[in-house]
Amino acid sequence: MKLLDRFTFGVGDRFAHQAEAQLRAFQILADQGVDVVPVWNKSNREHSFIGSEPQSVYDAAKAAVESLGWDKRWHVDADHIGLPTVDRFLPCSDFFTIDVADSIGKPAPAADVSAFVQRHPELQGEISIAGVDVPLTISAEQLAATASQYLLACREAGEIYRYIAERKGGEQELAAEVSMDETDAPQTPPELLVILALLADEKIRVQTIAPKFTGRFNKGVDYVGDLQQFEKEFNDDLAVIQHSIASYGLPENLKVSVHSGSDKFSLYPIIRRSLQETGAGLHLKTAGTTWLEELIGLSEAGGDGLALAKEIYAYALKHVDEFCAPYASVIDIDREQLPAAEEVNDWSGQQLANAVRHIPDHVEFNASVRQLLHVSFKVAAKHGDHYLDMLKAHAEVVGKNVTENIYVRHMQPLFLG
């Protein structure tokens, strides 16, 4: 397997113009003494909305790495892929997020479930885990139920993993993540333990695991949920991962992956504390936060940049139902808070930038506008070259916002405090 460093941070560059501005944030952080490896991620869904090819992500990343002289590691993540979608990602990705969420809950053959239960007596009863106050308790019934719920998903992960490894020329050519975040029910720490045993049985050299946490991870805005509960669950997950490495021979550097949906600011101090206390690693995935910085930069540029940003908002507002539908479970837009297009047309560039920029206590910040634009990147794709020309014409102000957002609002609270 391709060994991942302790800290990796996923960035999304939807239109393949911000890789350099993104990488600059990693450089500034490295200058502060914290090495975090950039991972450029883009899902099949994003590619199909935009009409782009996976190779473009690799090309943009490589150009940025060369132009800034980045001499540390970097990766390209085929995000949320499965067997039907992985092929075009193979030549240009070395990190694969194997998404098997859709197979969770598919009933597994009873004989396979009981074979698993028999193979793993250690998963029954009281299980003491270093770092968890109260031992986990898993009854025989619970173990069978959890195994049944996740067995086919994990088996599918194994199939995809072997498919990729074979075509990449061996396991050493890839870093594998297994993701189960895009589903309805969160996975509890005892369930995570069973899942890791199932993945180990499949001989997947999994290096990052993305569970679904409790609480809402809405796109582009802060976490909504019980912070104390998140802290306990997160710490228990870290402990379960360490336990599984020792018990099942999973890779030493196996770590949790947080699919943040971008900008979970209230979780960052909690995550930082946990990492400091445990020495654990982290993969944190963001994506759409950068595309919003493009709109902020274009707004601040004024003139034709601002005009395009306003046009994009007007179109998004008109198609609010269509754009929100695929993301219904991960956005909470208050329609009453969406200003009419005519109103926004009278705004200054600064005002539009302030409405979108994620500074939650800014008086002009508007979480509904931000979420709507977050899911409306299709509109920019529709503008094609015009949008890209604007990004090029206003590269400086856009890039400044992209770098600052990642460094100041994400990396500082996560890695520096």
Contact positions vs Zn ion (CB under 5 A): 181, 259
Measured between alpha carbons, how far is 150 from 167 in angstroms, rounded to an integer? Answer: 26
Nearer to Zn ion, 86 or 344 (CB): 86
Nearer to Zn ion, 207 or 403 (CB): 207
Question: 20 or 181, CB closer to Zn ion?
Answer: 181
Comparison of 259 and 374: residue with beta carbon closer to Zn ion: 259
Which residues lie closer than 8 Å to 133 by C-beta, 6 or more apart? none
Q: How far is the CB of 85 from Zn ion (least distance, A)?
A: 14
Max intra-chain CA distance, the chain: 68
Least Å distance between CB 118 and Zn ion?
33
Comparing every residue's Cβ against Zn ion, the nearest one is 259
Question: Between residues 143 and 164, which has the closer beta carbon with respect to Zn ion?
Answer: 164
Looking at the Cβ atoms of 208 and 405, the one nearer to Zn ion is: 208
Minimum distance from CB of 79 to Zn ion (Å)?
7
- Tell me how far, at minimum, the Cβ of 218 lies from Zn ion, in Å: 13
Residue 181 CB, nearest approach to Zn ion (Å):
5
Shortest CB 81 distance to Zn ion, Å: 11
CB of 288 to Zn ion, least distance (A): 12
- Shortest reach from residue 123's CB to Zn ion, in Å: 27
Q: Which is nearer to Zn ion, 77 or 181 (CB)?
A: 181
The alpha carbon of residue 203 and the mean position of all alpha carbons in its chain are separated, in whole angstroms, by 24
If one counts every other C-beta atom within 10 angstroms of the C-beta of residue 14, the result is: 22
Q: Considering beta carbons, is residue 366 or 371 the nearer one to Zn ion?
A: 371
Query: Whole-number minimum distance, CB 135 to Zn ion, in Å?
Result: 31
Length of the chain: 417
Nearer to Zn ion, 24 or 259 (CB): 259
Taking the complex as a whole, how short is the minimal distance between the CB of residue 212 and Zn ion, in angstroms?
9
Radius of gyration of the chain (CA): 22
**Locus of tokens 């957002």:** 405
Residues facing 329 on adjacent strands? none
Q: How far is CA 293 from CA 157, 277, 317, 396, in A?
A: 34, 33, 19, 12
CA distances (Å), 337 to each of 138, 316, 340, 355, 387, in order?
46, 14, 9, 11, 26
Q: Whose Cβ is closer to Zn ion: residue 80's or residue 358's?
A: 80
